[in-house]
Each structure stands twice: as structure tokens, then as C-alpha cells.
């Protein structure tokens, strides 16, 4: 009996990243450097834009550049297209991300950026796409293709944009590339550990909406995790900044409340650890993703969802999403759903209105 493709894609991420690193520091390194140079010398804003996972994948790189003082933004393409295009200016740089290169809103945003006199950098996994034809420069992701659910193309986009950010900041991304390559065996072990640990996650995942809470670069996994639960397991999920959660939404806390708190970014880890422990002490079901604390068996601390490996914080977005990939996969199976059977979305979102019929199921949704 063949395995479900989503599981194969989860397991294939280390190999996919190894191939991506070879590409970005081989035949395509000149393009990576050229894109970084445009961003470094931009006299105005640098706007990263995409839809769904393509937008979320930009958040770790945007957070890194933002912390170093660059005037960068991550803006959803649909909002930018209809409400922000009048503010686009010549001299700004647009980094438009679409793994398929054909999603309607990013393509239309790239057209608007060109009309405004901006430099457009297209980031895509599909050669000769509509986005590539519009872009001044095209940064290929070079990830292995997914079947059905976007898994390795998502983390591949995260990695490609982190390499781009490192090129901007350090004038080269060789050290980050080497660190990532050295961490790939740990990623393989982490995936295996998540699959083993997931047998014990049913009580956390079943029974109601799961809140995903985090800050900074971890917001990528917050929003991507919610997307995976929606599209894979057809279940409600709420992705939210953990800071925002304290400003009112915390009133939803009860014994039935379920949450996963991401605490991988060092800058705000103590705050997020406090939030996870507060929720746990109030009787909520909580899973923690990040470095553990001492006395992990203490009744005062929210338990770790999975043991956290030692790695450079910049690589955390490649690791912290894995538990949610596995959670979405396992939850779909527990609910009697085949991961990747889509009811309303199509392989590429090529229209701004309407939904596909249920006959369009079993096709990947690739923003």
C-alpha cells in the first residue's frame, strides 16, 4: 500500500533543502547576490508580498531585516492590490512570492509595481511562470515539488528568503548555508521524533479550535500552522500574535481551551514561556514548541510538544513548523480525511472570485 504523499513530503524536507542549498550556492548564487544588492541599495521601502504560505514564508526574513533597521514590510497581495497600490513608489523594491508563479493576486501586484516604477524581484519555484515574465529579477526557490499539500516548498521558500536576507546583511550567505547543511541530520531526527510523539497529541488536537500563538519570526509558523490545519484536517484554527492574545482574546480561556505556543525566538522567549505556563496553570491544554525549561515535569510548566534540538535560532522556522505539519496530517487521519483531498480550492488560485466544485479535489493548492 502506497503512503499518503503528504507524509513523503514531510520526510523529504532535508533532502529537498540539501538540493536547494546546492542550487543557491552553485549555479544560481549570482542571482541571489544580485537580488540582495537591489534590496541593500533600495532608496525606499522593500515590500515582500504574497498569498497564503508564500506570504507566511517571508516573515522570518522580513523579521530579520526589520530588526537590523531595514524598511521592510510583509503585505498580503490581495490587500496591497486593492487598497495599497496607490502608495507604491518608484525606487521601492517589491519581492513578490508565488511558489507556482501563477497565483492571481501576486501576478497583478507585480504588474502594479512595474507600473509604479518599482524594481520587482520574483520568487518562484516554477520556471517561465507569469511572475517570472513580469519580474526584473527572478530568484528560483529550487525546492522539490510537493504532491497535494505544500510542505517542502513552504520550508524551501523560508530557507531561500533567509539566505537572501543573509546576503543583504552580511554580503554573503555561505555561513548560514553551511549551518543549515550541518543541521539537516538534526532535521531528519526531528521529523522522526515528531512522528513518534504525535501519538500522544490526540487530546490536544481533537475537540475544538486550536490557537497557535507566537511572535517575531515564529509568526510564520503560527499562520502557516493554522493554514495547514484548515486545508489538511478541515478544522478551525486561530493564528495570533501572543502579545495580541493578552489584549482581550484571553477571555476565551477555559478547561476546553487548546493552544500551541511557539517560543523559539530568543528576544521574546521569556514572555512566551510565561504565557504558555499561565495558560497551563489556568487548566488549558497547551503544547510548547521551543527550548525546554528546567524541571520540565513540574506542574507549573506547560509540557513540550516535542523535544527541541540545539540549533541556531535563525534556523528555527525550518524546524518549528514540522510539529504542525505532522499534527495536521495526523488530525486529518483521526477525522477520517485523506490529507490532500481538496473540496473547494484548485492547484493554482487563478481567479479572485468563485470556488471550484468538489470534483477539483485531490489537487495541490500552491500559492
User: Using an 8 Å Cβ cutoff, are 124 and 132 in contact?
Assistant: yes
Q: Quote the pLDDT of residue 20.
A: 97
**193-334 placed in CATH 3.40.50.10490:** yes
CATH architecture, domain defined by 5-172: 3-Layer(aba) Sandwich (3.40)
Q: Quote the pLDDT of residue 363.
A: 44
Quote the DSSP letter at residue 81.
I
User: Using an 8 Å Cβ cutoff, are 102 and 126 in contact?
Assistant: yes
pLDDT-derived band of residue 346, with 50, 70 and 90 as boundaries?
Answer: low
Percent of the chain with pLDDT over 90: 84
- The cell for 78 is 490581495
Q: Quote the pLDDT of residue 364.
A: 47
Tell me how far CA of residue 217 lies from CA of 57, 60, 195, 240, 285, in angstroms: 10, 4, 24, 13, 24
pLDDT digits (tens, 9 = 90+) for 116-173: 999 999 999 999 999 999 999 999 999 999 987 899 999 999 999 999 999 999 999 9
Q: Quote the pLDDT of residue 293.
A: 72
pLDDT digits (tens, 9 = 90+) for 29-64: 999 999 999 999 999 999 999 999 999 999 999 999
The predicted model scores a pTM of: 0.93
pLDDT digits (tens, 9 = 90+) for 261-273: 999 999 999 999 9
- The cell for 47 is 515590500
Domain with CATH 3.40.50.10490 in the chain: 5-172, 193-334
- The cell for 89 is 513608489
Closest C-alpha to 88, from 46, 123, 29? 46
- Cα(201)–Cα(153) distance, rounded to whole angstroms? 25
pLDDT-derived band of residue 341, with 50, 70 and 90 as boundaries?
Answer: confident
Amino acid at each position: 500500500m502506497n503512503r499518503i504523499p503528504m507524509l513523503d513530503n514531510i520526510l523529504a524536507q532535508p533532502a529537498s533543502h540539501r538540493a536547494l542549498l546546492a542550487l543557491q550556492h552553485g549555479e544560481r548564487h549570482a542571482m541571489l547576490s544580485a537580488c540582495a544588492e537591489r534590496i541593500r541599495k533600495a532608496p525606499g521601502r522593500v515590500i515582500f508580498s504574497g498569498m497564503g504560505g508564500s506570504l507566511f514564508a517571508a516573515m522570518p526574513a522580513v523579521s530579520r531585516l526589520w530588526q537590523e533597521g531595514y524598511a521592510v514590510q510583509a503585505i498580503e497581495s490581495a490587500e496591497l492590490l486593492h487598497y495599497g497600490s496607490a502608495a507604491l513608489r518608484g525606487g521601492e523594491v517589491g519581492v513578490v512570492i508565488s511558489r507556482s508563479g501563477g497565483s492571481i493576486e501576486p501576478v497583478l501586484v507585480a504588474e502594479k509595481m512595474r507600473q509604479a516604477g518599482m524594481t520587482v524581484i520574483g520568487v518562484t519555484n516554477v520556471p517561465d511562470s507569469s511572475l517570472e515574465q513580469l519580474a526584473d529579477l527572478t530568484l528560483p526557490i529550487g525546492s522539490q515539488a510537493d504532491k497535494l499539500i505544500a510542505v517542502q516548498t513552504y520550508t524551501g521558500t523560508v530557507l531561500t528568503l533567509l539566505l537572501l536576507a543573509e546576503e543583504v546583511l552580511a554580503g554573503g550567505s555561505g555561513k548560514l548555508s553551511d549551518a543549515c547543511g550541518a543541521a539537516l541530520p538534526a532535521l531528519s531526527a526531528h521529523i522522526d521524533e515528531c512522528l513518534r510523539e504525535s501519538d500522544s497529541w490526540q487530546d490536544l488536537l481533537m475537540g475544538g479550535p486550536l490557537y497557535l500563538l507566537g511572535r517575531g519570526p515564529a509568526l510564520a509558523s503560527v499562520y502557516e500552522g493554522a493554514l495547514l490545519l484548515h486545508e489538511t484536517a478541515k478544522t478551525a484554527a486561530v493564528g495570533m500574535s501572543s502579545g495580541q492574545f493578552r489584549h482581550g482574546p484571553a477571555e476565551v480561556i477555559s478547561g476546553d481551551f487548546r493552544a500551541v505556543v511557539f517560543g523559539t525566538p530568543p528576544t521574546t522567549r521569556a514572555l512566551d514561556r510565561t504565557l504558555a505556563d499561565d495558560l497551563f496553570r489556568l487548566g488549558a491544554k497547551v503544547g510548547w514548541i521551543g527550548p525546554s525549561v528546567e524541571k520540565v515535569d513540574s506542574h507549573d510548566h506547560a509540557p513540550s510538544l516535542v523535544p527541541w534540538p540545539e540549533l541556531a535560532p535563525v534556523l528555527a522556522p525550518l524546524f518549528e513548523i514540522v510539529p504542525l505539519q505532522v499534527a495536521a496530517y495526523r488530525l486529518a487521519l483521526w477525522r477520517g480525511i485523506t490529507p490532500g483531498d481538496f473540496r473547494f480550492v484548485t492547484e493554482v488560485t487563478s481567479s479572485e472570485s468563485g470556488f471550484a466544485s468538489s470534483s477539483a479535489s485531490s489537487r495541490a493548492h500552491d500559492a
